Structure 1
Amino acid sequence: MNSKKNYQNYRKILVVFTLLLGITLSAQQTTGDVTKQSDINPGTTTTAGAVRVVDNKGTIKYLQSQNGITMLSNTTDNVTTTTWQLGGVLTDSTFIDIDGKLFGLNGLELIDNTTENASVDATTESDAGTGTGYTILVRDEATGATKKLLATDLIQSGQEAFTATASQTTYALTGSPVLPVFSQVWVYRNGAKLIANLDYTIAASTVTLVPNTTVPNDWSVYAGDVIEVQYVK
């Protein structure tokens, strides 16, 4: 009787698992027979093993797992229970056919690109249907965790021009974008490119010009000069 009940429970688990995913899993082997694996022993964990069950007609059958599904078999109150769960090693190439359905991952940490490897407070994150724009999945090599990064933090670019006043040296960009490193920021004075980290410095969203008083490379900022800033991440 317990075997029959366990078999029915296994079927329910598989049905619920499929409904929760809402997707079709397809491994490379889709036809032919699969070799029966060794029986799983109670009290053990395995990524490949078979569980023997008996259906309501007395037919002996086997349920087994592989390709990224782990089984935990335990004995509680004299009833053997085997649990299937995600987490393991893929043994076959596997494809996910979403067939026009939505597929997403909620609860991923959002990386703050202004501070290396820092995460944004959970209250600023968003799940399906509550956010805007796009994020890109990234992997934290230190922990192996999959996280997300705002697309604008990775591919953001901009350009802004200022009309200088006499001796004006600081120029704050509209919207306060965080400027990247010098090699990705270009500053021009009346169309002539200035030398990075010599003729200008950058900090956060502000460009500061550093006029030179040494002949013959001396220069100053005059009223009406056009200062153009370009950057790309």
Structure 2
Amino acid sequence: MKTNFLKLGLAAVAILAFSFGNAQQTTGDIGKGEDLSQSSVLNGTIRVIDNKGTKKFLQVQNGLTLLTDTTPDGGYVSTWQLGGTLSDDTTITLNDGTTANGFVIDGVNFSLENIVTTTADAATATTAESGTETGYTLLVRNEATGNVEKLLATDLIQSGQEAFTATAGQTDYPLTGAPVLPAFAQVYVYRNGAKLVANTDYTVAGSSVTLIPSTTAPNDWAVLAGDVIEVHFVK
């Protein structure tokens, strides 16, 4: 009689089992999945009893994997581990700097503060965190640390500008702060508002621009006292 009652009970459980929806379930009851007793394959259900004989089931789902070794001496060894197929849509709240506790991925900075450089010169720049910003940010990899960090879209392209009042014949124009300038194609030099030809009327080295006046007509020109030499760069 007890055997028949047990069989009827198991049959009733099988009939009442239902499928999970797509949304992540965080409340309510979760029905028992596949019952393999000792979970001989991945993600099976383990049947156990407590110290009073109450029958219970242990199972995993949604991104966790259960693997049972049936060959060790002394019984079965079942292991729960991270790694598996998500069966439901899953939401994990990242630590955004406003909550006391949150999910953190080592090497990924998802705080509300943004990483900015202290100088426009990539070779000597150091990083610091600015205050809370608005607008768009990009995820970038810091090659020095390997960390994934946030970068303001406005900080992605660095630029600079400086104007000089020339003396007669002056050709060298070192920029204040000695930023390392990019290639000449990214440096734009103007004399009294007229653009000079890159790598012909001027060259770029280090943090300085050097003008190359010409005596060949019809492109002859010279630097006169009071000329305004303006330097722009983008990198």
Question: Could you state the TM-score of these two structures normalised by the residue count of structure 2?
Answer: 0.55
- 1:72–1:33 CA distance, 2 compared to 1 (3 A): closer
- 1:67-216 alignment runs, 5 A limit: 67=63, 69=64, 80-85=77-82, 94-98=90-94, 100-101=98-99, 107=107, 114=122, 131-133=128-130, 137-138=139-140, 147-148=148-149, 154-216=156-218
- 1:30–1:93 CA distance, 2 compared to 1 (3 A): closer
Answer whether contact 2:24 2:90 (CA < 8 A) is retained.
no
- Distance in 2 (alpha carbons) for counterparts of 1:208 and 1:96: 56
Cα deviation for residue 101 of structure 1 reads 2.4
Aligned partner of 1:5 in structure 2 is: none
- Distance in 2 (alpha carbons) for counterparts of 1:207 and 1:55: 82
Cα deviation for residue 216 of structure 1 reads 0.5
Answer whether contact 1:188 1:228 (CA < 8 A) is retained.
yes
Aligned partner of 2:48 in structure 1 is: 54
- Distance in 2 (alpha carbons) for counterparts of 1:64 and 1:114: 49
Cα deviation for residue 192 of structure 1 reads 0.8
- Distance in 2 (alpha carbons) for counterparts of 1:220 and 1:73: 85
Aligned partner of 2:112 in structure 1 is: none
Cα deviation for residue 159 of structure 1 reads 1.3
Greater RCO, CA 8 A, separation 6+: 1
- 1:173–1:76 CA distance, 2 compared to 1 (3 A): farther
- Distance in 2 (alpha carbons) for counterparts of 1:90 and 1:202: 55
- 1:176–1:212 CA distance, 2 compared to 1 (3 A): same
Q: Deviations over 1:98-149 (max 9, x none)?
A: 5852766554699x9958xxxx9xxx77xxxxx4348953259xxxx76448
- Name which one, 1 or 2, has greater alpha-carbon Rg: 2
- Distance in 2 (alpha carbons) for counterparts of 1:89 and 1:212: 70
- Distance in 1 (alpha carbons) for counterparts of 2:39 and 2:224: 84
Answer whether contact 2:23 2:90 (CA < 8 A) is retained.
no
- Unaligned 5+ segments in structure 2 are 1-20, 110-114, 132-136
2:156 partner SS: helix
Answer whether contact 2:34 2:45 (CA < 8 A) is retained.
no
- How big is the alpha-carbon RMSD for the aligned residues of Structure 1 and Structure 2? 4.6
Cα deviation for residue 202 of structure 1 reads 2.2
1:162 partner SS: strand
AA in 1 matched with 2:187: V
- Distance in 1 (alpha carbons) for counterparts of 2:168 and 2:72: 83
Q: Deviations over 1:153-209 (max 9, x none)?
A: 622222111122232222222223233344433211111111222222223322222
- 1:232–1:167 CA distance, 2 compared to 1 (3 A): same
Aligned partner of 2:24 in structure 1 is: 30
- 1:226–1:82 CA distance, 2 compared to 1 (3 A): same
- 1:156–1:192 CA distance, 2 compared to 1 (3 A): same
- Distance in 2 (alpha carbons) for counterparts of 1:167 and 1:37: 88
Aligned partner of 2:222 in structure 1 is: 220
Answer whether contact 1:172 1:205 (CA < 8 A) is retained.
yes
- Unaligned 5+ segments in structure 1 are 1-26, 126-130
